[in-house]
Structure 1
């Protein structure tokens, strides 16, 4: 296994190259394709950034494996083994990207022997680069970040999304949870990007985030960034986090996470 320093430096370079492409194309007309439904979109930039990252990593580390949003959408099976595996969302917040809304990012994480080692979330439009390495802390543009110390819902800002599915059963639960949580918290926020929502918790700008129906590539980088910033990342039911479960809850403190899980109506989508 190559040194993680060498791997980190290579991927940081590639992420910045991909970010330049995102920043360059966000204000241009786009060729938009519909995937599973009218709000699940992909653009040529998604495909180009994913290829840039995969080709760049493979050229130096040919034994590394990948779980990428666009390759998975084309029929490649999701499989997480003990091999070094990169979990990639080339443009998280594609709907934002399509509309020119500036909260969009590259999300990439390295999982080795099923243990997260590196996470990067890069919003090149807003010039926000979130990074983390196992045991080394979390950073925004090179400066250390830390979660808030909020332990109670009544003092919490909660990140909360509808997501990219309009399945009636899921939407019913989404609206039920909004109705339950709204009177109990300081407020809700949504950036339209699962990765950036998680990074807001890591930054301390928000205190909790949960979502059902997202995918491994939406949350793998955010998971290690939140943990390295001192937060917790669990299943919304209160159990351990599973990157393939399509469910996530992260929070500034265990106390806050426990309080939120007690009131949530649960939804269990098909696993990745």
Structure 2
């Protein structure tokens, strides 16, 4: 396929996400919650955004594959077979969204041969679209952005979620004792804020690929790195709702090296 095939998808992705932002804002803090088999929260707005975005994209690109945390019809792993596929988290930070905390986002990734090549993240808290990918640059709204390369000090800000598995707490302790910590309740925003230079780095122990897919190309486009610490996750070969939790660090090359050192990885 020519570059026009990629460019047309990039523009369609931005339009599709922006088309759902009015619904996201209108139902913020109001949507009724339900609980899924894994104990995570879901609202009707998660489903509506998934359906709306994929309906619009599929009308233009019917041969692409579409994967969402909320729309899979089977619990079985789904193989990634198309050249272009899409990975969507319709509301990353559903707990925040339902309870009225502003840190939540729509996160849509365009993948080529299983590799995220462009990400679109709508940040409700700032009413801002973050988007980009390698070769395109990274944009925080209209502002070109880069990963922070500031010297690491005790004032360095790290996005951080505590480990779900308590056996991983020793890995976390070194980071907690070294830097200032921010826990926003949205893994997508942690990683996207690294790309935008708002956070210096981030660490997470609990995420799935749909939490990260849209923000990974943002970080890469902004000159940063994402290191998976419990097994390589990309290129995506299957979409599996029951996948194991991912442990990763992100930031500049210097930041990633320091985080791995502190975590003894």
TM-score by length of 1: 0.85
Contact conserved, 1:150 with 1:256, CA < 8 A, in 2?
A: no
Q: Distance in 1 between matches of 2:203 and 2:73?
A: 23
The whole-number CA distance in structure 1 between the counterparts of 2:152 and 2:214 is: 26
CA pair 242-7 structure 1, distance change in 2 beyond 3 A: closer
- Correspondence for 2:214: 221
Q: CA deviation at 1:155?
A: 5.2
CA RMSD of aligned residues (A): 2.4
Q: 2:115–2:234: 8 Å Cα contact kept in structure 1? A: no
Residue 125 and residue 188 in structure 1: after superposition, are their counterparts in 2 closer, same or farther (change >3 A)? closer
Residues 1:120 and 2:114 aligned together: no
* Equivalent in the alignment of 1:3: 5
Please, which moves more after superposition, 196-205 or 5-14?
5-14
Give the direction of change, closer, same or farther, for the CA distance of 1:102–1:74 in structure 2 (3 Å limit).
Answer: farther
Alignment CA distance shift 1:203-1:73 (3 Å): farther
Bigger relative contact order (CA 8 A; separation at least 6) = 2
Q: Deviations over 1:90-129 (max 9, x none)?
A: 0000000010101111000111112322101102342121
Alpha-carbon separation, structure 2, partners of 1:99 and 1:115:
33
For this pair of structures, how many residues does the alignment match? 256
Tell me, yes or no, if structure 1 residue 232 matches structure 2 residue 234. no
Q: 1:66 maps to what in 2? A: 66
Return closer, same or farther for 1:198/1:215 CA change in 2, 3 Å cut-off: same
Aligned CA distance change for structure 1 residues 140 and 156 (closer, same or farther; 3 Å): same
Give the C-alpha shift of residue 248 in structure 1. 4.9
Which one of 2, 25, 29 corresponds to residue 23 of structure 1?
A: 25
Paired with 1:81 and 1:31, the residues of 2 have a C-alpha distance of: 36
Distance in 1 (CA, whole Å) between partners of 2:137 and 2:229 is 24
Q: Show the counterpart of 1:253.
A: 252
Structure with greater helix share of residues: 1
* Unaligned ranges ≥5, structure 2: 237-243
**Pairwise CA distance, 1:60:** 0.7
Structure 2 Cα separation of the partners of residues 211 and 252 of structure 1: 12
Corresponding position of 1:86:
86
User: Is 2:161 the partner of 1:193?
Assistant: no
CA contact (8 A) 1:151 1:253 kept: no
Equivalent residue for 1:110? 110
TM-score (norm 2): 0.87
Could you tell me whether the CA contact under 8 Å between 1:208 and 1:249 is conserved in 2? no
Q: Say which of 10, 16, 20 aligns to 1:14.
A: 16
Q: Distance in 1 between matches of 2:102 and 2:235?
A: 26
**Measured at CA, do residues 243 and 171 of structure 1 come closer, stay the same or move farther in structure 2, by a change above 3 Å?**
farther
Q: How many angstroms apart in 2 are the aligned matches of 1:250 and 1:230?
A: 15
Does residue 1:183 correspond to 2:184, yes or no?
no
